[in-house]
Structure 1
Amino acid sequence: MGNFLKHFKISTKLNMIMLSILIIFAFVVGFVVQQQVTEGVKGAAAEKAANDLELANYMLNYYYPGDWDLRDGALYKGNEVMNEDFEIADKIGETTGGLVTIFQENMPITTNLLINDERAISSEATGTTVEVVLENGENLYGEANILGTDMQTAYMPLRTSSGEVVGMLFIGASQEFINETIASIMGVVSIVLGLIIIFAVAIIFLYSRNMAKRLNRVNNALESAGHGDFTAEITDKSGDEIGSLTTSYNRMKDNLKDLIQQVAETSHHVASSAEQLTASALETRAATDTITESIQKVAVGSEQQLENTKTTSDVVINISSGIDQMATHIEEVNRTSTNLSTKASDGSNVIDKTVQQMNTIQMRTTSTAKLVEELGNKSNRIGEIVSLITSVAEQTNLLALNAAIEAARAGEHGKGFAVVADEVRKLAEQSGDSALQITEMIKEIQQDIEESVKAMGDGRLAVEEGIQYVGEAGSSFKNISSSVESVSTQLEEVTKSVRDMTTNTTAMVQSIESIKDSTEEAAGYTQNVASSAEEQNASMEEITASSQTLSKMAEDLQAAIKNFKL
């Protein structure tokens, strides 16, 4: 039945259901009316039979005064013999319009019932009739079929003056008038029910057609909404379910309109933020490339400085060895003064070269310090850019949260928006996490840079001190050269000077070793900075790819929103 009805419209279903109910109601009412009428008419027929019985008894007493009695095998009423007195039976029958039979005990002795034109006085009464009327002396009322005709029957016992029951008086009222009455009443009832059904069907048809029109308006609006067109307006001022449905649709349309506008604005902001994030990532990437290039230059300079420092150390060690030899052979100074002068000249030249090399180391150390300071400034710039990325990620995450809330309010229609908002939120969180990682890297780089600057400063001071010592050594060599002629007289002074030179060269060797260690440490720091810059560059590439994906998703969302007509 459900499969049969599901293919019909609601108005058709309603008409069929109401028509079925009306037909069932008509049948039930007709059946109940028939039963009630039948019972009422039969009751009236039974009452008529009882009244006819009293009327027959009255007529017998009127025409034949006296008591009932049995004499000589015959039944008397007063002085008249009732056996085969068909005249009185016919009179009573004409008056009552029914059958009349008088029984002597259980045998009929007169009647107006004819069978084949003969009086039916040959069939005796039996069963309940005899028991109730003759034996118990009570009236008996009931129904019987006599010669194919349904009759209402009534029996009265005939008593003598002493109260003895000597016979029965039978009255039969035909039920044809009952059937006629029932048919007449049912005809009227059928006409009334038919008119009621026609009137009800007309009302139901008009109501269902009106309801179908209202439902069609709602259906057309919902169908248009299914295709993204929310421009349809529905007006229904009734307070029933369809009116409530119309109100709910209009409310849903307004809410969806607001939601779609908010999503459109949000997607526009997301697209703008993604573009800004992409631009910032590209700028950061360019800055990182610059830092990487600078660090590589610093690394090359550090390696060169390290080689120069090693060379200087070897030279100073040679100087120290020469001074030791001078101290050892001080006693031969007088004999080898000419040789000493030559060596002093060579030593002076070496000292000049040493001074030049130390100046070169000082210049390169200063240049390295400037590069490291520039690296620190660029790291600070990267930190500012990362802060901007973090701020953009937080704004994007907030916008994604708002979009998810609005999508949840939209229910089933907002699931697609909720998925997009969740993806935007995830990308924003990834951007924020990457920004935090970059911030930590920059802090480490800045710390390393500070240590590098400090080490460079120490190295520069050591180089300046070395230059001073080498200058003093040069002065000593000049003094030696100028005092060669008087070396004999000034031997003790020369010996003292040589000892001072030994002390100074030892300090110089230590300073050069310190510069070498600082240079090696600075080279290691530059390698760390270069690695961090490469990692930051990779992170910037990931951020750029994520922001481009976010921008693409925002554009797709804007394209999807354009399909809605508001």
Structure 2
Amino acid sequence: MPDSMKGMRLENPIKSIGMKLFLIFLVSILFFVLTVGFTSYNISKGVIQKKVADASEQTIIQAGQKLDLLYGTYEDVTMQILLDEEMKRMLSDITTFDKSTFDYLQLRQKLGDKLNVYAYANKTIKSLQLFSLSGEIISSAGATGTKENPSKEDWFKRIVDNSGKATWLETKSKGYGDASTSSVPSFAIGRVLKNTTNNSQQNILVIEVNIDVISKELAQINMGEGGQTLVLAPDFKVVYSPDAATLGQKSTIDVDVASLQGENHSIMNIKKDLQLVYFQSAKSGWYLMGAMPVAELVRDARTISDMTWIMALVAALIAGGIGFLVARMVGRPVITLRNLMKEGEQGNLTVRMTVSSQDEIGQLGNSFNEMMQKITVLVQQTNISAQEVLDTATELSDASKKTATSAREIAVATEEIAGGASSLAVESERGNELTYNIGVQMKAVVDGNIVMGTAASDVQKSSEQGIQYMSELINKTNATEAMTRNMVEKVDNLKESTRSIRKILEVLSNVSKQTNILSLNATIEAARAGAAGKGFMVVADEIRKLADQSRQSIAIVGTITETIQREIDETVNVLSTAYPIFQEQISSVKEADSIFKQVQTHMGGFIGQLSEVTESISNLDASQIVLSDAMSNVSAVAEESSATSQEVASLSAEQMNISNGLVRLSDKLDQLSNSLKDSLSKFEV
């Protein structure tokens, strides 16, 4: 191998085929190993998380149902106190006593004893407190009652607003009693005690319960390492938590409240790092919630993730070894072949590749050797042919130069002849164009006269038709005027008839009034006659009714008659207004008829003048046609002469161009021959 070839190296190893094969093996194996491993890890993690969530969900639901039973006992206590007749009587009586009297203090003591009975019956109750609606403490049992008036407290207002329903109050770190004497967290249930007779609100009952009650119920629930069990109010304030510092505070668990309304009791928090299972109490509305870190749930599945990384590392090593072997087997022969082709590119056609295998790389080496052998033979043959072409080009160049000189002289003489013929053809063409333009304009004038004649005839026909239509319109307008006049007369007659009807209605109205008076007199006489006149009184009563009906009918007919009279008057007014308009319309129609007749007379004279003009233009057009034919003949002869001269000049010019082209081609062929000879001299054969 030559020294120059030994020194050649690949400039960028990343672009080599060996490195590409190495990267393909490495990336492919790592992709499949990591895909299978992490798919298994994700599936295992999901299965484990679901199983743990299902088991925890059942535990939380059962614990929540037990808490509901516990909450129910406290609601039952409030109902017992609400329905206790002795308690209601004492609460009703205490409002009638003066607070400074002994009876008030004695009754208050009895209320305290009664509350103590309920407190001792349920050992989990921390205190029982009775307040007035204004927040004043009336009586209490168990722990020390509140020190200040709680009427402005939010929890007190909530109890009052619920109007008799049980109100569950969230946990306070120091309870609902006197904060200076109590430091035990507690939650409470409150209810308004009503007077059953008038359903009015009397007092506020608050039962305070130690938070330890819930703690004992949830002590057996284990949410795993890092997990916690909470009781949360609907506004997510902490009712119960193993961490006492968070009681009464807003929970730090980020949950979409809308997700708690579904049938599924297992959800994820917003950050997706906690698995939550919950149960909402039907009694208190509080949420019993178990929170488990997802990382702890799927901790056992991390083994699959670790094994995936180990297998990926082993696969990377195996892929690296395979890729290195493939790069060595394929890359080296390809680099050798590339270096040999570089030598051939520089003109060394004697290079050959040593072939030691029969695979595709070996076949490629054999093909390269055969190609270089054939290129060597081709260069040798081309070198011989180039010398022969160079000799021929020299002889051709001399002959072409002599031919070009003769053609140049012939072309100069021919161009002078063609110039004179062209000038004559141009002048003839101009005369022909002027004659043609005159003919076109004459044609346009003739066509315009014909169109004007046609239009004038159409106008004359339209005038005759208009005169006929105007005659018919005058006749119809006269008939309309006669009908309108007749209609006015008939409406006047109808107006007189309505006046007669009104007179008749006046007579009937008077008859009705007289009949009514007669019936009244008959009734009076029948009353004087006593029992004997009862039959006549019935007849008189019927006559009076008939007179009233007649009077009403006459009034209705009178109203209708007045309406007809008013509409007749309006019709007369309209017809009176329309009659002068008809008179004006008749005058306008007659004037239009006179105008149409004048138009017809004028159009007849105009058509006669158009006919004379058209005949004169036709004679002028015939003379122009004869002139146009003569100019066309002169132009044709001039053009034919010019065309012949130009054809001769063109042939001479073409012959001169061919001669010049032969000279250029001879010179170019000479240059190419020398260039080919120089190029072939670079090859080593």
TM-score (norm 2): 0.31
TM-score (norm 1): 0.36
| Larger proportion of helix | 1
